[in-house]
């Protein structure tokens, strides 16, 4: 039988993310840490070697622990906890962790594809959270909308949710942190969530 879940994995990830931000705020140099542990496309491409940094293959994950400010962190965690607890209830804790990790790498890959020579570190959990929101859209999107042309109501709902998520992230970037928003990363994570939602659900109940 599949395990019951109360959102424990979601809470652990959210807590670790908040503690990492606090540790950087109190004890670290955010600019230096962002370059050492954030995801730099140019570093992944091999154009910018960084001595002493997090191994490049781990930076899609370490980048999720870094945030540009309290507003950035707070909004991400509110959305993550709200959607994550619901998704974890459906697919279970193990699948939830897999979804988050794959989302982080999918977001980094999409960001890299757009500009593989970029030397600006991508930080924040938004890409991984986008995967969770994508899964949430599959499982819980019930708002009544009409089909648009060849696109079904489900597709329209998903597109609206993705657009709204990217739009709000863009507003945060403009108003609070003045940084570029990695829209491709959000899209990459969201698509990963859409693609993995039903397979992870089937995987959870494989022995039911």
| Residue range 68-85, pLDDT digits in tens | 888 889 989 999 999 999
d(CA 196, CA 191): 9
Cα(84)–Cα(103) distance, integer angstroms: 13
Q: Output the pTM of the full model.
A: 0.87
pLDDT value for 2: 46
Residue 119: count of CB within 10 angstroms of its CB: 12
Higher pLDDT, 109 or 28: 109
| Three-class SS of 79-92 | HHHHHHHHHHHHHC
Per-residue pLDDT, 145: 65
- d(CA 25, CA 19) in angstroms, rounded, equals 10
Q: Which residue has the tokens 């989302």?
A: 103
Cα–Cα separations (whole angstroms), residue 192 to 36, 37, 100, 149, 172: 26, 23, 10, 25, 23
Question: 177 pLDDT exceeds 60?
Answer: no
Report whether 97 contacts 196 (CB < 8 A). no
Interatomic CA distance for residues 194 and 158, integer angstroms: 9
First to last CA, the chain: 5
Checking if the pLDDT of 190 tops 70, the result is: yes
Q: Whose CA is closest to 208, among 83, 88, 86, 92?
A: 92
**Banded model confidence at residue 158, pLDDT cuts 50, 70, 90:** confident
What does the pLDDT read at residue 81?
A: 96
Q: Cα angle vertex 117, ends 113, 121, to 5°?
A: 90
The alpha carbon of 176 is separated from its chain's Cα centroid by a whole number of angstroms, namely 19
Q: Mean pLDDT check: name the lowest of 95-99, 158-162, 186-190.
A: 158-162
Per the structure block, which two tokens stand in for 119?
A: 């030397």
Instruction: Kindly state the tokens that stand for 33.
Output: 């840490």
């Amino acid at each position: 039988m599949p395990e019951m879940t109360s959102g424990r994995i979601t809470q652990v990830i959210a807590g670790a993310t908040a503690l990492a931000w606090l540790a950087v705020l109190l004890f670290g140099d955010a600019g230096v840490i962002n370059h050492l542990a954030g995801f730099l496309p140019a570093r992944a491409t091999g154009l910018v070697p960084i001595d002493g940094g997090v191994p490049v293959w781990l930076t899609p994950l370490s980048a999720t622990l870094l945030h540009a400010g309290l507003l950035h962190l707070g909004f991400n965690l509110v959305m993550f906890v709200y959607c994550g607890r619901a998704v974890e209830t459906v697919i279970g804790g193990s699948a939830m962790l897999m979804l988050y990790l794959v989302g982080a790498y999918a977001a980094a890959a999409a960001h890299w594809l757009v500009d593989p020579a970029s030397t600006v570190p991508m930080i924040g959990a938004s890409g991984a959270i986008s995967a969770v929101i994508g899964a949430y859209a599959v499982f819980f999107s019930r708002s009544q909308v009409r089909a648009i042309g060849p696109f079904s109501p489900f597709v329209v709902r998903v597109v609206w949710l993705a657009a709204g998520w990217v739009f709000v992230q863009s507003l945060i970037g403009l108003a609070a942190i003045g940084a570029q928003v990695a829209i491709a990363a959000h899209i990459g994570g969201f698509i990963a969530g859409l693609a993995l939602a039903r397979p992870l659900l089937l995987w959870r109940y494989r022995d039911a």
